[in-house]
Amino acid sequence: MKAVIYARVSTEKQEEQNTIDSQIKELEIIIQQNGDSLIESFIDNGYSGTILARPALDKLRDGAKNQSFEKIYIHSPDRLSRKYAYQVLILDELKKYSIGVVFKNMKTAETPEDHMLLGMQGVIAEYEKVKIVERTRRGRLYRAKSNHVIGNIPPFGYVCIPKSQSNTGFAQYKINENEAKIVKLVYKWLIEEQLTTYKIVDRLQVQRIKARKGKLWAKSSTHKLLRNETYCGITYYNKHYYIPSNKEQEKGKYNRRENTLLRLRPKEEWIPIEVPAIMDRTTFELAQDQLKQNALMSDRNTKHTYLLKGLIKCGREMGSMHGIPSHGKRYYRCYFKSKLNSPTPCKSSIVHAGRVESIVWDSMLDLFSNPDLIRSQFEKWINKKEQEANNPHASEFQSNNIEQGLLRLKTEENRLLQAFSSGAITIGQLKEQNERILKERKEIEKSQEIMRTLQEKKVVVMPKKKDFIKYASIYKSYLANLDPSKRQILLRKAKLNVTILDRKLNIKGTLPTNPTVELCPQPPPERSSGSR
């Protein structure tokens, strides 16, 4: 008779232990002893027995319907399914198509007693599944609370010493010095140079720095590295949990487990585990602040312009409010309103973007065009710069920073040329990086010029009151006609902070007084009496 084999294991660990191969070999011997002919094997690697939709099982059921074979050999009923109801469903379906079923560890059900035994085995298999899951869960929780590392795949920068090789009797992380150097370098680029994740990935590729196993760095893996709290000496277990998805499964796609939606647990349920630290807590927090700043100021993947992007917060949860489109209109929504970002979603309402932006911009326009405010801010700026000019230690520190910045850019230029000469990067990548370096150099040289002017102690003449009134009038006319992108730049320079709570706005900001920021054109020169 034409026979097939069905085999299943539920985890990759079982795959590595050759559980599938052992099932198949045992069944092949039985098929040979019974004089049947094996024509195909249906194998589900890493699929849970609680799920009915499995790729190999579906092909098996289709083959049974088309009468492609006459008999199926299976190691045990729980390989078919861990749920008794699913076992009965599949076996009834095979019986309908006159397909024989042979289990290795029990004879084919023919009598009522056989069916009863098969049913009991199905119920026991379902009970064992629950028992194994619960025993594993409790065992892992106990080990985590005892400060034992759970899992054998450590983050980049560490190696995992298995309990069989550990002198402590349990698995533990040890710092991989070569990888740790890369981790520190990436954090340095983020904190000191304020590079975005994409620019960090580019630099890693330009400098031929590989990820684990010689792979190239990707944006996702780099971002994960920059968010991993393990590097400052603590990792967490029991941080997430999975729930079933209500989303309809796409045709031709299969889930390996029943629960597929990831959810964040309340922080009080997280179990901290101490590990060797690669960096201190302060460095890690500085990196998180910079990542937040990068995310807030990023304009990637934004179809609509949101004037207050990165500047508006929810007063209830103090989370950033993100722009979202809905039915052709723009809104702001609290970050913690999503169940994925908070176990207890924020109850604040979404707010209409156009209305909030109009109120904020009109308020800021009144402030920016207030002559008394401009005069007071100008006086503060003069006093601050005079104090800096009279402080030799501050000047020396700034001078050293400028020199180090220029030297760093020169070194980076040489590395890029070497990388291009060796074929590591293309001419397009070389041009892109050179443009970035040129822009950074101009900014540094501009700061150098400002500092030189201050050190020469040039006198800054305070304009008269009528001049400030004139400037205010020019400001108002110019600012009123700014396009949305330039308005956004101005609000960011003003360090605007908008908080909304119960439909009430709280607006804070600082009038920009940096001389390198051109808010508007210079006022026209005074005309002489002979002018027409």
CA separation for the pair 342, 344 (Å, rounded): 5
Write the DSSP assignment of 260-321 as a string of letters. Answer: EEEEEPPGGG-EEEE---SS-HHHHHHHHHHHHHHHHH--TT-SS--TTTTTEEETTT-PBE
Secondary structure class of 130 (helix, strand, coil): helix
> CB of 472 within 8 A of CB of 369?
yes
b/e sequence 346-370, b meaning 16+ C-beta within 10 Å: bebeebebeebbeebbeebbeebbb
In three-state secondary structure terms, 415 is helix
C-alpha dist (Å) from residue 381 to 53, 201, 376, 454:
69, 39, 9, 12
How far is it, in rounded angstroms, from Cα 86 to Cα 89? 5
Closest listed residue to residue 437, CA positions, set 193, 234, 226: 193
Question: Residue 10 catalytic?
Answer: yes
Asked if 416 contacts 206 with a C-beta cutoff of 8 angstroms, the reply is yes
Asked if residue 496 lies in contact with residue 507, where contact means CB atoms within 8 angstroms, the answer is yes
Q: Which is the catalytic residue, given 10, 48, 320, 348?
A: 10
- The H-or-E segment that residue 8 falls in is strand 2-9
**E strand map for 162-227:** 172-175
Which amino acid, residue 110?
E
Length of the chain, in residues = 532
With tokens 């390989």, the residue in question is 79
Strand partners, 244: 259
Tokens of 488: 């956004």
Rounded CA separation 142/156 (Å)? 26
Distances (CA, A) of 275 to 234, 354, 451: 6, 48, 45
HEC sequence for 441-490: HHHHHHHHHHHHHHHCCCCCCCCCHHHHHHHHHHHHHHHHCCCHHHHHHH
Nearest partner of 374 among 512, 263, 272, 236, judged by Cα: 512
Residues 241 and 259: their CA atoms lie apart, in Å, by 9
Cα 303 to Cα 294: distance, rounded to the nearest angstrom? 18
Q: Please say whether the beta carbons of 364 and 496 come within 8 A.
A: yes
The tokens for 48 are: 């849970």
Positions marked catalytic = 10
